[in-house]
Structure 1
């Protein structure tokens, strides 16, 4: 079954149509499935190396 997903993180919005395995029984089930499909990473930006900081600004170019 296809489901429409809209994720918002810090005012950035991602929308996508995805194939959900089966038929969801509840919104909680869908959220649990979405979390299992999501790779969230974070770092202490103030203490990160310049190389690591560049990963967080990939689409903006090099950070000085």
Structure 2
């Protein structure tokens, strides 16, 4: 079945129409499935190397 998903992180919104395997029994089930499909990564930005910081600013260009 297709489900419409809208995720908002720190004011940035992502909307997708995705194929869900089967029929969800609850919103919690959908949330668990979404988390299993998501690759979340984080780093200590203040202590990251300049090279690593560039990855977080690919839309804006190199950060000085």
TM over 0.5: yes
- The TM-score range, normalised by the shorter chain, is over 0.9
User: CA offset at residue 48 of structure 1?
Assistant: 0.1
Query: Residue 51 of structure 1: CA displacement?
Result: 0.7
| Long gaps (5+) in structure 1 | none
Q: What is aligned with 1:27?
A: 27
TM-score (norm 2): 0.98
Q: How many residues align?
A: 64
Q: TM-score, normalised by structure 1?
A: 0.98
Q: Any idea what SS the aligned residue of 1:30 has? A: helix
Cα displacement (A) at 1:59: 1.1
Equivalent positions of 1:6-17 (< 5 A) are: 6-17=6-17
